[in-house]
Chain A
Amino acid sequence: MRAEAVGKRWGTTQALSGATFEIGPGITGLLGANGAGKTTLLGLVLGMHRPDQGRLEVLGRDPWRLGPQVRARLGYAPEHEALPGDVRAHDVVRHFAEVHGLAAREAQTRASDALWEVGLGEERFRPVGTMSTGQRQRVKLAVAIAHDPEVVLLDEPTNGLDPVQREHMLGLVRRVAHDLGLNVILSSHLLEEVERVSDAVLILDAGRVVRSGPLGELRGGDRPELLVEVDAGAPAAERLVGELARHGVSGVAAGASVVVSLDSDAVYDVVRDALVDLSLGVRRIERRRASLEDVFLAAGEGGA
C-alpha cells in the first residue's frame, strides 16, 4: 500500500493532508487520536471516497477507480455496529463471503471455519443480536477474514470490550496475521494495544502522517534509556539536561523527568555525578526501552 501526498477534505475539515507513506506486510498499527483521520484513510483505502489530491495505490491498484477489484481482496471490520441483529452469525459471515466472490458451497464451509477460528464455533447459529459485544466484534472479524483477503482492515476492534475480551481480541489479531498469514491494518487510538501487536506503525495527527515505519525503528532501534525523575519539578529537570550536556550525554526533559540515552555504562556515572553536583533529590531512576508513547508524544510535539 502506497500513498503520495493524499488529501481529503470534508466540508471545512481537512481530514487528511499530504499523507505520504508505505505499508508493508504484517500488522501495521494506524495510530491517532479520535478525529486524526484514521477512518477517512481506511475509507480511501477501500475506495469508498475519492482523494481530493495525491495518489493512493492498494495492492497495486487505484482503489477509487478499481474499487470492486480492490475490495474483493480486502477484509473490513468497521468500528461501529454493522451486523443485523436478527440474522444468525453463520448466515451473515457466509453471505459476505459470497458477496466477496466465493461460490455458495465454499462460502458455507469457510464461514464455519472463520467462526471456529474466532472462537464462535459453538455459537455460530445464534442470532447476532443475542450475542455480547465481544462476540459481535468477533463476528465482524470473521466477516473480514472468511473470504481470505490479502489485507484485513480493523477499525478500533477492541471498542467496548472489557480487559479480558480486549486481550482475547488482540490475541486473535496476532493470530490472523502470524498464523493465518493475512496482512492486518489495525486502526486504534490506544497506544498500548497498537504497540503490543503491531510490526509497524503509522501515526496520524490532525490529518497528517507524523511518523511511520517499523516499530523497532521508530523506537530508536530498541536502544535502552534511563528515566530519571527528580524531586524539584520541571526547572530542575531542565538544569539536569544542561549538566548532562556539559558532559557529552544527551537527555530530553519531559515534566519532572529526564530521559537519557544509555549509550554506555559510563552514562550511569555521569548521571550520578550530575545529580550530586546539582544537589537534586531523586524520586525514581529506571532503566527502560523507548515506548511507542514516547514516539507518539515526540511526534505530537514535532507536529505542533
Chain B
Amino acid sequence: MSERAGPEARILERGYRRFEGVRQGRGHAMRSLMAHTLRRILGLRRPARAKVLPLMSIVFAYLPATVFLGVVALFGRFGGRAQARQLVPDYADYYGFIVSAIVLFVAFAAPEALCPDRRSGVLSLYLASPLTRMTYLAAKAASVAIVIGAVTVGPLLLLLAGLTLQGVGPDGPIEVMKVLGRIVAAGVALAAVFTAISMAVASLTDRRALASAGIIFLLLGSGVVGGILVAGLGAPAEAFVVNVVRSSLEVVARIYGESDTRFAAVDTAVVAAGTAAWALTGAAVAVLRYRRLQVTR
C-alpha cells in the first residue's frame, strides 16, 4: 500500500546552485583559517595518532595544578588547608613544573601549523584565496599563540580559581584581579616569545620533524650558550638573556615582582629587551621567509 504525501512533503533538489548571498571579507577568511589550524594542531577530525602529542602536552601542563588543588582539598578535609597551601608553589614558580610541557607544545604546534601547508602544496590554494601571505601568516601565528597560551595561561588560571574557591587564594577581589592580570600578562608574554621563535624555525623547513628538532635545539642550545657565556667565559650577568627559556621565565618572574637570585642584579629593562629581541627576530625571520617564498611560477 502506498502512502500519500502530506501537505508538508517537499521535493528537495540536491545539486550545485549559484550563490546569491553576501560574501564575508578578509577577517572571516582569517578566522576560518585560525579555526582550521587550531583543529589541526589539536588533532581534531584527524586520526587518533594526531591527538597524542597535543593531549600529552595538555595533560603534563595541567596535571601539577590538578594535583596541587587535590592536595589542598584533601588536607582541607582534615582542617590543614592553610598548611597545605604552603605546599603549593607560587604562581611564578609554577612554570618550573610545566616548562617541559610548554617546550613540548612549542616544538610541536608551529611545525604542525606551517609545515604541512608548504609540503602538501596547500599554501598555493590559500594564496589563491582572499588571504595574502601576511594575513595567512598572522592567522597561523594567532592559532599557534592560542594553543601555546592554553598551556602558559590555562593551568595558572585553574590554580587561581581552585585556590580561591577553597578559600586559600589571594585575599579579596582586588588581590584576585591583580594575580589574574599577572597570570594573563605572563602567559601572553611567554606565548608571544615562543610563538615567534617557533614560527621562525618552522618557516625554514617543510618537514615537521626537522622543525620540531630545530626548535628544541634552539631552545636548549641557547641555554648552553648562555651558560658558557656567563659561567664559563665570565661575561656580565646580562648575557644570560641569550638563553631564551631562562630570559622568558625571568620576564615572568619580574611580572610577579620576583626574580631569580642569580640574575637579580640585571635590570628589568635589559631582561625585557633581551626577550623582546628574541620575539622580534623570530617574527622577522618568519615574515621575511614568507614574503620571499616562491609558491608558484
Whole-angstrom distance between the alpha carbons of A68 and B130 in the complex? 4
**CB interface residues, B 120-155, toward A, < 8 Å:** 120-122, 124-132, 135
B40 to chain A, nearest CB (A): 8
Partner of B32, one of A67, A98, A110: A98
* A-B pairs with beta carbons under 8 A, tally: 119
- Whether A84 and B122, one on each chain, are in contact in the complex, defined by CB atoms closer than 8 angstroms, is yes
The answer to whether the Cβ of B297 comes within 8 Å of any Cβ in the partner chain is yes
- On whether the beta carbons of B130 and A84 are closer than 8 Å, the reply is no
Number of interface residues of B (CB under 8 A): 39
- In the bound complex, residues from chain B placing their C-beta under 8 Å from that of A91 are 45
User: Which A72-115 residues have C-beta < 8 A from chain B?
Assistant: 72, 74, 76, 78, 80-88, 91, 95-96, 98-104, 106, 110, 113-114
Given A39-B297, A78-B296, A91-B45, A72 contacting B130 (CB threshold 8 A): yes
Which residues of chain B have C-beta atoms less than 8 A from A101's C-beta? 23-25, 28-29, 130
Q: CA A98 – CA B36 in complex, angstroms?
A: 10
* Contact residues in A for B17 (Cβ distance below 8 Å): 113
Q: Point out the residue from B25, B28, B47, B126 that lies within 8 Å of A86, measured CB to CB.
A: B47
* Interface membership of A241, Cβ < 8 A: no
Closest to A101 in B: B23
B29 to chain A, nearest CB (A): 5
State whether B129 touches A117 (Cβ < 8 A): no
Q: Provide the bound-state CA to CA distance between A74 and B127, in Å.
A: 12
Q: How far is the CA of A104 from the CA of B24 in the complex (A)?
A: 11
How far does the Cβ of A178 sit from chain B's closest Cβ, in whole Å? 13
The 8 tightest CB contacts between A and B, nearest first, are A101-B23, A148-B19, A76-B128, A82-B121, A68-B130, A98-B32, A101-B24, A99-B129
29 residue pairs A–B, Cβ–Cβ below 8 Å: A40-B297, A43-B297, A46-B128, A68-B25, A68-B26, A68-B132, A72-B23, A76-B125, A78-B128, A78-B296, A82-B122, A87-B40, A87-B46, A88-B45, A99-B129, A99-B130, A100-B29, A101-B24, A101-B25, A101-B29, A102-B24, A103-B21, A103-B24, A104-B32, A106-B19, A113-B15, A113-B16, A114-B16, A117-B16
Instruction: List 13 additional contacts besides A40-B297, A96-B125, A116-B15; criterion CB under 8 Å.
Output: A10-B297, A71-B129, A72-B129, A76-B124, A80-B124, A82-B122, A86-B47, A98-B29, A99-B33, A100-B23, A117-B15, A117-B16, A180-B16
